[in-house]
Amino acid sequence: MNDRSKSLDEVTISGVGYAIPERIVTNHELETILDTTDQWIVERTGIRERRFVHPGMALSDLAIPAARQAIEHAGIDPRQIGLVICATSTPDMAMPATAILIAHAIGADRAAAFDLEAACTGFAYGMVVAQQFLMSGTYSHALVVGGDVLSKFINWKDRSTAVLFGDGAGAAVLSRVTGDRGFLAVRLGADGAGSELISIPIGSRYPPSAEKELHTIHMRGREVYKWAIDMVPRIISEVLALAKIAPADLDHVILHQANLRIIDAVSKRLGIAQERMVINIDRMANTSAGTIPVALAEIVKQGRVKVGDRICMAGFGAGLTWAAVLLRWTCAKPFPQQQCQNKSLVSTALAETSY
Ligand code: UT7
pLDDT tens for residues 21-53?
A: 999 999 999 999 999 999 999 999 999 999 999
At residue 293, does pLDDT exceed 90?
A: yes
CB 40 near ligand 1, within 6 Å: yes
Banded pLDDT at 65 (limits 50, 70, 90): very high
Query: What's residue 353's pLDDT?
Result: 47
Atom 21, ligand 1: residue with shortest CA distance: 222
Distance in angstroms (rounded) separating the CA atoms of residues 305 and 299: 6
In contact, 71 and 107? CB cutoff 8 Å: no
Residues labelled catalytic: 120, 256, 286
At residue 339, does pLDDT exceed 80?
A: no
Atom 41, ligand 1: residue with shortest CA distance: 36
Ligand 1 pocket test target in 195, 217, 222 with most atoms within 8 Å of CB? 222
Distance in angstroms (rounded) separating the CA atoms of residues 205 and 188: 27
At residue 70, does pLDDT exceed 70?
A: yes
CB 333 near ligand 1, within 6 Å: no
CB 155 near ligand 1, within 6 Å: no
pLDDT, one tens digit per residue, over 112-143 is: 999 999 999 999 999 999 999 999 999 999 99
Identify the CATH class of 183-328. alpha beta
Atom 36, ligand 1: residue with shortest CA distance: 160
At residue 7, does pLDDT exceed 80?
A: no
Which range among 5-9, 190-194, 236-240, 267-271 shows the weakest confidence by mean pLDDT? 5-9
Whether the model clears a pTM of 0.85, i.e. scores above it, the answer is yes
CB 225 near ligand 1, within 6 Å: yes
In contact, 335 and 304? CB cutoff 8 Å: no
CB 194 near ligand 1, within 6 Å: no
CA of 189 to the centre of ligand 1 (A): 25
Distance in angstroms (rounded) separating the CA atoms of residues 247 and 319: 27
In contact, 137 and 176? CB cutoff 8 Å: yes
**Neighbour count for residue 94 (Cβ, 10 Å):** 10
Delimiting residues of CATH 3.40.47.10 domain(s) in the chain: 6-178, 183-328
β-strand pairing of 198-199 with 218-219: antiparallel
Phi first, then psi, for residue 177 (nearest 5°) are: -135, 170
Provide the CATH number for the domain formed by 6-178 in this structure. Answer: 3.40.47.10
Q: What is the mean pLDDT of residues 335-344?
A: 63
CB 234 near ligand 1, within 6 Å: no
CA of 161 to the centre of ligand 1 (A): 8
Q: What percent of the chain has pLDDT over 90?
A: 88
Ligand 1 atom nearest to CA at 291: 1
Banded pLDDT at 8 (limits 50, 70, 90): low
Query: What's residue 338's pLDDT?
Result: 67
CB 163 near ligand 1, within 6 Å: yes
CA of 222 to the centre of ligand 1 (A): 7
CA of 221 to the centre of ligand 1 (A): 6
Helix or strand holding residue 346 (H, E):
helix 343-346
Phi first, then psi, for residue 187 (nearest 5°) are: -150, 130
CA of 289 to the centre of ligand 1 (A): 21
CB 220 near ligand 1, within 6 Å: no
CB 157 near ligand 1, within 6 Å: no
At residue 68, does pLDDT exceed 70?
A: yes
Banded pLDDT at 80 (limits 50, 70, 90): very high
Ligand 1 pocket test target in 35, 44, 48, 196 with most atoms within 8 Å of CB? 44
In contact, 305 and 299? CB cutoff 8 Å: yes
CA of 304 to the centre of ligand 1 (A): 33
More confident residue, 268 or 109: 268
